[in-house]
Amino acid sequence: MKECSRGLQDDHNSEEYLSVTRHRSILKTEVDMSGTPNKQNKNMKKVPTTWGGVAIRLWDLSWPLSWMEVMTFAKEIIITAFVGHLGPLELSSLVLAQTLYNVSGNAPMLGVVVAMETFCGQAYGAKKYQTVGVVLQRALILTTLFNLFMVAFWGQAEWLMIAMGQDPDIAKAAGHFTVLLAPALIMDGVDQCCRRYLAAQSVVQPQMFITVMATLLTPLFLWYFILSCDWGFYGAAVAWNCVQGTSASGLVCYILYFNSQQDPNKKTWGGWSRECFAEWGVYTRVALPSIVMICLDWWTFELLVIFSGLLPRPETTMSMMGITFNIHALCFFAAHGLSGAASTRVGNELGAGRPRMAWLNTQVSVLMGTTSMIFFAALLLVFRNQLGMLFTSDPEVIMLTSQATPMLAASLVGEGANTVLAGVLRGCGRQKIGATINLGMYWGLGLPFACVLAFKMGMGAMGLWTGLACTASVQSLYLSWVVFKFDWSAEALRAKSLIASGEVDFDLEEDVLEALDAENMKIAQH
């Protein structure tokens, strides 16, 4: 580790060798995708090689992504507020429908989409510009097919929710509402694919403006369909579809404009190609671990809310859990933006054959993510007694929220590192590692531990948050150890193989290491 850190300070054109984590040597000159030394060209745009320069570039990418998440979250809050005024039955039905939409539709769909971060990021860094557009086409087709399958599943939503013990009236309304959201899920898939396509090219601010515009139109759509058209509860579903349609169509229009302005030599969209129907197996091998990684994380929080309803005085505990999870989500957006930025930068650098810079971006992004979460954790502790008042006037819920805040703050620090490291794994195409660790930590350790504290040790809702905080902390330490052991020169060769032939080898086998040695020998001969 010390040798690798010293290597970060050396010049690109030095002819010495750099010792990396597994003691495989690479030349200090970064290697391009053809295997030749990458000489610095005066006309080329300089790549920031200092901690400060890398931090600025990551910040430029991350803050628009974070605001996009805030606006997406705000959209759901606005919809909930409108429906809440219709009555308790409508509000309960909406909450149940949102849970079904997110758990069975949104979360796994995002897993399919985020595989683009690996392929597009590395291809763009390798200057395989046309490949970026082909990956977008492939992702659009696969995501739409997946969403259509989930929409067919939603046809049985009412029956399934009744079988799970939900109130029949609530289950019926929630089931119909979810089916009406089918267009929103399909358009959300298009929206998310377009976001990754642009983000791989470091184009993020236009995405943010389009998302803000769609969110600002949400109250207008809700007013029109719920009140003006007098469609009531189901008018909220139509409004949701319109909001999502506004965002997706805005991104598509911007991409058409963006592509028309691109340098002909750097065009990432060359029209629809038959290549998008090839290599579905390769894409799926990256997407499946992404689905598992995202769903295991997302479903853990949903299960904790359900478990809180099994505790004594469920109305109070579930209210507290809902409040603290909303606060957690708002603070989480800062790290989530950095996760996307880290995925883009690490993928670009590996695709460009710059393992040294991929390692530097990893260090800086993890530090920034952890630091930002420490700041938010400290802020929550300072105002712990006032947090509950933002959501309710019930003194018991306010007191319980204050008591849970220290564990909420502790979980944020671990989650900050975990989220950024997950972005690094996506940039490397190592989603399988993240899926395996999430399975072991959240479901093998976190949930059982939280249940023991809550039900066996009598800690109640505090036990649920304590279990989550401990799990997040342990996972952040272990995931950091795993990622910081990466042989970054081998990861760059792995990215080269992925881009050139589409062959993904999730485990670093001996043939990859042998290829690395052969590559180093070839460079040395130059």
Sequence-distant (≥ 6) Cβ neighbours of residue 271 within 8 angstroms: none
Task: Enter the tokens of residue 508.
Answer: 């670093």
* Res. 442: pLDDT tops 90: no
pLDDT tier, 159 (very low <50, low <70, confident <90, very high otherwise)? confident
- E strand or H helix at 479, and its extent? helix 461-484
- Alpha carbon distance 150, 132 (integer Å): 27
- Alpha carbon distance 516, 510 (integer Å): 10
- Alpha carbon distance 278, 489 (integer Å): 28
pLDDT tier, 324 (very low <50, low <70, confident <90, very high otherwise)? confident
Q: List, for residues 286-312, the tens digit of each pLDDT value.
A: 899 989 888 888 888 777 877 776 777
Supply φ then ψ for residue 461, to 5 degrees.
-60, -30
What average pLDDT does the segment 234-245 reach? Answer: 96
* Res. 413: pLDDT tops 50: yes
CB 19 within 8 A of CB 7: yes
DSSP helix/strand/coil, 26: strand
Q: Which of 286, 333, 300, 179 is nearest to 502 (CA)?
A: 286
- Alpha carbon distance 251, 190 (integer Å): 9
* Residue given tokens 């530097």 in the structure block: 360
Residue, of 363 and 95, whose pLDDT is higher = 363
* Residue given tokens 């007098």 in the structure block: 230
* pLDDT of 43: 37
- Alpha carbon distance 94, 304 (integer Å): 19
* pLDDT of 161: 82
pLDDT tier, 330 (very low <50, low <70, confident <90, very high otherwise)? confident
CB 526 within 8 A of CB 37: yes
Neighbours of 298 (CB within 10 A): 17
* Res. 5: pLDDT tops 60: no
- Alpha carbon distance 98, 90 (integer Å): 12
* pLDDT of 458: 83
pLDDT tier, 496 (very low <50, low <70, confident <90, very high otherwise)? confident
Residue, of 454 and 27, whose pLDDT is higher = 454
- Alpha carbon distance 339, 427 (integer Å): 10
CB 94 within 8 A of CB 170: no
